[in-house]
Homo-oligomer: A and B are copies of this chain.
Amino acid sequence: MEFPRSSNDILSLEELEDVWPILQGEERLEALYAPSRPVAENFFLQLSSEDQADILTNLPEGEKRSWIRLLPPDDAADVLQIVNKEQHPSLLQYLDEPTRKEVTALLAYAEDDAGGLMNPRYARLRPDMPLDEAISYLKRQTRAQIENIYYIYVLDEGQHLLGVVSYRDLFSADPQKKIRDIMRTHIVKADEAMDQEALGQLFKRYKFLAVPVVDSENRLKGVVTVDDIVDVMTEEATEDIQKLGAVSPLEMPYMKTSIFDLVKKRAGWLSVLFLGEMLTASAMSRYALEIEKAVVLALFLPLIISSGGNSGSQASTLVIRAMAVGEITLRDWWRVAKREIFSGLALGGVLGVIGFIRIFVWQYFFESYGEHYTLIAITLFASLIGVVLIGTIAGSMLPFILSRLKLDPASASAPFVATLVDVGGLIIYFSIAALLLQGSLL
């Protein structure tokens, strides 16, 4: 909500933004002191919490106070959540007494809850104030550091939330009326413990600028504003995307995550998938005899099983995203299954035809597949339809199963689905081959 202040400023703000990513440690502190103080402050305020934490811990002691005091209490709490617990006292000491209390209270909430996102400062009024008095009272209040300037909350003596008025309401009503007469009393509000993903949905649905956060007794604890929600939605999307790639969500940006952590976050899933994929080795050992008789079968193996994995990835991606944006819920499973069965047959048919043609073309030019090439082509065609079909079914139903088990459907990642489908695809392929090639190749 800050505007750059002069023509030179906006230039050096942009320059600062430009060089920032390639600077490290000490250089960043120097860069921060290069432009005028207001520019540096604006720049500091728009940095991510990670960068703010970085700067605050590296600043010389004498400088820390003026920079940490720039932050509103919710942002200061975010910074503290990033630095080591041992450093908390050394940073908290620089805050003024009331802010320190607010920040300490915020630290008690989980980072991902409404309580962890809210700003404990908001404009407040009593219900029996006349409007003109309220307006001049607010003029004094707005000079303090109140981030949320869109709504004013009406509280009784016990801090219970009675209603809300917007600045626009104040503007347009008769100044002789009381707040009670113009306040809106049915308010969409969030519980302290509401998960940030649910909170994001609330904002998206009602297009609010701010949502009040109350405790179980309807006492106002703070306000979450839409600018924090924009960050939350990006964060949640990043988490989902990383899960879809079979990576445990990183807590920090990719480049800031240490290589050791990066390996740790990936080794877990990769090993699980590897163990799952070992089943293919076991399954294949049952078909060792067939492979020995007809090596041609082995040639198409990667092609067949990867097609199942790919169609499964497509299906799971579509279903997981539709679930995440609230478009489908558990009860839609059968409608989705019908769509995916049909899609699987159609897509399998397309690939089957391509595979069929490929065998005939290669046979014509290179005579690659011997006298039984028609049977091989039919085996390939039928296997592709079967494998793609189990791909779409497994890919689309796995997110429902995970969700039913109260697990995150986004864990049905492309590699996970592919691994599941590989074993099934292999069995389908060799079973169809055994059926069709008995007496000829086998």
Contacts and interface: CB of A to CB of B under 8 A. Distances in A.
A297 to B, nearest CB: 9
Contact of A321 (B242, B266, B418): B242
Nearest to A292: B295
A266 B340 CA distance: 12
Interface in A308-356: 309-311, 313-314, 316-322, 325, 327-329, 332, 335-336, 339, 342-343, 346-347, 350-351, 354-355
Interface of A: 1-7, 9-10, 21, 46, 135, 138-139, 142-143, 149-150, 164, 166-168, 171-172, 184, 186-188, 203-209, 226-227, 229-231, 233-234, 237-238, 240-242, 244-247, 250, 253-255, 259, 262-263, 266-267, 269-271, 273-275, 277-278, 280-281, 284-285, 288, 291-292, 295-296, 298-303, 305-307, 309-311, 313-314, 316-322, 325, 327-329, 332, 335-336, 339, 342-343, 346-347, 350-351, 354-355, 358, 368, 388, 413-415, 418-419, 422, 426
A415 B310 contact: yes
Nearest to A167: B167
17 contacts: A139-B172, A142-B172, A204-B231, A226-B226, A230-B230, A233-B237, A237-B241, A244-B317, A253-B325, A262-B318, A262-B343, A263-B343, A281-B299, A281-B303, A284-B298, A301-B301, A306-B309
Contacts of A301: 284, 298, 301-302
B234 A234 contact: no
Contacts of A284: 298-299, 301-302
B291 A298 contact: yes
Contact of A302 (B305, B310, B318): B305
B343 A271 contact: no
- Residue among A230, A275, A306 with max Cβ neighbours from chain B (10 Å): A306
Contacts of A307: 270, 273-274, 277
A311 B316 CA distance: 19
Report how many copies the assembly holds: 2
Contacts of A316: 245
Given A139-B171, A350-B267, A368 B285 contact: yes
A300 B253 CA distance: 36
A350 B270 contact: yes
Contacts of A245: 244, 313-314, 316-318, 414
A240 B237 CA distance: 10
- Residue among A7, A241, A269 with max Cβ neighbours from chain B (10 Å): A241
A238 to B, nearest CB: 5
Contacts of A313: 245-246, 413-415
Given A277-B303, A288-B299, 18 more contacts: A3-B187, A10-B186, A139-B171, A209-B209, A244-B244, A246-B313, A250-B318, A255-B327, A267-B347, A271-B351, A277-B302, A284-B299, A288-B298, A306-B419, A306-B422, A309-B309, A314-B415, A418-B418
- Residue among A188, A302, A307 with max Cβ neighbours from chain B (10 Å): A302
A306 B277 CA distance: 8
A238 B325 contact: yes
A271 B233 contact: no
Contacts of A242: 317-318, 321
A164 B4 CA distance: 12
- Residue among A207, A242, A275, A281 with max Cβ neighbours from chain B (10 Å): A281
Contacts of A254: 318-319, 321-322, 327-328
Contacts of A21: 329
B262 A285 contact: no
A314 B246 contact: yes
Contacts of A329: 21
B322 A263 contact: no
- 3 closest cross-chain pairs (CB), A and B: A245-B317, A237-B237, A414-B414
